[in-house]
Structure 1
Amino acid sequence: MKKVALLATALAIVTTGSAFAADLRMKALKAPPPPAFDPWDIAFGGAIMSNYVFRGITQSNNKPSVAAYFEPRYNVTKDLQLYIGVAGESISFPNRAAAEIDIYGGIRPTFGAFAFDIGVWGYLYPGGTCYYGAPGVDFAGNFQGAECAEKALLNTNVIKRDLSFFEVYGKMTYTVNDNWSFGVTEYYTPSFLNSGAWGNYASIVGKYTAPSTVFGSSGVGMYVSGEFGRQWLGTSDSFYGTAAFPNGINYADYNTWNVGIGFTYKVMTLDLRYSDTDLSKGDCNAFTSDYSARGNLTASTGTFVTPINPSGVGSSWCGATGIAKLSFDLTAMTNLK
């Protein structure tokens, strides 16, 4: 009996010990608790580009431009982000504005494969000068005061001192998989470039991101993207009026498109892009008041006169162009830890 009792006790000790050891191992394999959720983040970056093109129209007189932005973000949840931001770009406008300063903010909700971006964007152009010729009345009989320069632009174009305006916008992106995504955008303003003409811009966009294996373990990524958009425009106020349209001109609507290829490495992106529009040189001049616009020196092809551009000078600011852009983008939570 003693032998049987001793054997039972030994088996109990072994069994209990094994269970205790297994319990210890299970506890040791448990994952550590997830890090505390930090809702705050900051994105910032900069770029240098061969030409600053906005919806098919150069903002830098077809010259190089630099840009930078700073964007604080607050993640309410992993699928809902609030943000505000400030950005700046170097420009070359007819009114000699010092720069473009953008102030914007909005909300970015995500529902599965659908990502939305809804907000307000303000475009500020400080330091501008009004060019209208000697102070006097416009074609509608409205007085243009002494704040306008005494001399007009050499090509007789006119431009307001302040071109600042704002847009409300909405974007939607559908991510098909790791390689493909598609989206739509919509922007509206009651007064584009403070011209008095409402503006509505809508576009469709697409992007293909190459698999990470394309360049092996080099860390280089590649994408191809494109956009097709249409800009609708209303009628300007009398400042931009003509003898035929003294109360303002009805700007021409136009299509614009771009396609390009990009290469990424860590926080750097090199984007090579082709951009174009179907806006004529004459209507482009009426819309932009391009200070570099000139008449057509080839008589056989006529001038650039259109119903809203009686001066006959034409602008190359809306033509086909290639753009090379080198940029960097960082977020504090991802890149600065």
Structure 2
Amino acid sequence: MKKLALLATALAMISSSAMAADMAVKAVKAPPPAPFDPWDIAFGAGVMNDYIFRGVTQSNHNPSVTAYFEPRYNVTKDLQLYVGTSTESISFANRAAAEVDVYGGIRPTFGAFAFDVGIWGYLYPGGTCFFGAPFDTAGNAVGPECATNFLLNGNVMKKDVSFFEVYGKVTYTINDNWAFSLNEYYSPNFLNTGAWGNYSSIIGKYTAPSTVFGSSGVGMYVSGEFGRQWLGTSDSFYGVPAFPNGIKYADYDTWNIGIGFTYKVFTLDLRYSDTDLSKGNCSAFTSAFNASGTTDVTPINPLGTGSNWCGAAGIAKLSVDLTAASNLK
């Protein structure tokens, strides 16, 4: 009987212990996952010693500052909609106050391929027309403001050079280190010159392993781009005696290569940029207010002024980039 009593007591203890263990497991069950929040905002700012756009300085090789704000809506983890705006300080021949960009598009992802398709508007408020004569080369009236303002080097520029482009990009990520991108931009009226513009480029980027700088948190990448800008024929405002109805801007190649360092939300990018545009064709394309000389004569630049706005440049840019989802929680 004692043996039976002891056996019964042991079974009861085992049963009680099992029930307690089961209750403990249920008590620490993992909480349900947080609900999916599709909204996010990206924003940031930067300062650079030179604002280069497709190989051409937009700031007369002087420092420039920039900032952007981009709300995003993630339909799924592989489909994002976005709109945004950015500003850059510039130095144009028409003395526009700044560049103000507005844009929007869609970013679908399919495996290793990430696409980006949208429209980008470039606005240049506060400009002044510089022409210096009441009529353009085709005999069209240019208005009283253009007739009284002129540049000493003979270059001309409209008051409003705002324009828009449609674009498509695709990035193929091979692995954690290598990625390549193809880019395509088209404008029916580039810089409001009357000439269409088409820009195509390829970008390669190598991101170094996170162990390169140990546990410091510093990252590093090397990237380069090769692109070609095709341009059509301007309207008569930019015409010259040989081409009174407009000039066919010179197409050109541009390239850049650089190295970048990242730390948390900061990026320092050091880059070399250049083009194959001649100084004469650069003067005609940019209407540079400081173009000088008389020896850089081309069919579209009969005065022979030359500009270094399209030549070799070194760029150092320090930027900070954040998102609400990652940095403000």
Scaled by the length of structure 2, the TM-score of the pair is: 0.95
Find the residue that maps to 2:71 and give its secondary structure.
Answer: strand
Q: How does 1:306-325 map to 2 (within 5 A)?
A: 306-325=298-317
Residue equivalent to 2:101: 102
Match of 1:193 among 184, 191, 201: 191
Separation (CA, whole Å) in 2 of partners of 1:120 and 1:209: 29
Indicate whether 1:56 and 2:55 are aligned: yes
Which residue does 1:173 correspond to in 2? 171
Looking at structure 2, the residues matched to 134 and 239 of structure 1 have their Cα atoms a distance apart, in angstroms, of 11
Q: Give yes or no for contact 1:103–1:123 (8 Å, CA) kept in 2.
A: yes
Cα separation, 1, equivalents of 2:150 and 2:160: 16
Residues 60-71 of structure 1: matches in 2 within 5 Å?
Answer: 60-71=59-70
Per-residue deviation, 1:81: 1.3
1:14, distance to aligned residue in structure 2 (A): 4.2
State the identity %.
74
* Residues in 2 aligned to 1:119 and 1:20: alpha-carbon distance in whole angstroms: 61
Q: 1:161 aligns with which of 149, 159, 162?
A: 159
Aligned counterpart in structure 2 of residue 253 of structure 1, from 251, 254, 263: 251
Bigger Cα displacement from structure 2, 311-320 vs 26-35: 26-35
- Equivalences for residues 54-133 of structure 1 within 5 A: 54-133=53-132
For residues 7 and 178 of structure 1, what CA distance do their matches in structure 2 show? 64
Whether 1:202 aligns to 2:194 is: no
Deviates more, 1:215-224 or 1:21-30: 21-30
Moved more, 18-27 or 39-48: 18-27
The count of residues paired between Structure 1 and Structure 2 equals: 329
Post-superposition Cα deviations, 1:182-235, rounded to whole Å, max 9, x if no partner, equal: 111111100000001101111111111111111111111111111111111111
Structure 2 partner of 1:36: 35
The Cα of 1:285 is off from its aligned counterpart by 0.9
**1:240-293 superposed Cα distances (whole Å, 9 cap, x missing partner):** 111111111111111100000111111111110000001111111111111110
Distance 2:116 2:292 in 1: 40
Query: What is the DSSP-based 3-state SS (H/G/I as helix, E as strand, rest coil) of the residue aligned with 1:130?
Result: coil
Q: Give the equivalent residue in structure 1 for 2:46.
A: 47
Structure 2 unmatched ranges of 5 or more: none
CA distance in 2 between partners of 1:27 and 1:242 (Å): 84
* 1:244 equivalent among 224, 227, 242: 242
Are the equivalent residues in 1 in contact too, given 2:51–2:61 (CA < 8 A)? yes
Say which SS state the counterpart of residue 239 (structure 1) adopts.
helix
CA contact (8 A) 1:267 1:329 kept: yes
1:198-277 superposed matches below 5 A? 198-277=196-275
The one-letter amino acid paired with 1:85 is G
**What is the distance in 1 between the residues matched to 2:82 and 2:278?**
38
- The match for 1:183 is 181
Over aligned residues, Cα RMSD in angstroms? 1.6
CA distance in 2, matches of 1:68, 1:313: 34
* C-alpha distance in structure 2 between counterparts of 1:238 and 1:24, whole Å: 85
The 8 Å contact of residues 129 and 149 in structure 2, kept in 1 or not, is answered as no
Question: How far apart in 2 are the matches of 1:261 and 1:88?
Answer: 24
| TM-score normalised by length of structure 1 | 0.93
Q: Is the 8 A contact 1:129 1:149 kept in 2?
A: no
1:174/1:21 CA distance change after superposition, 3 Å: farther
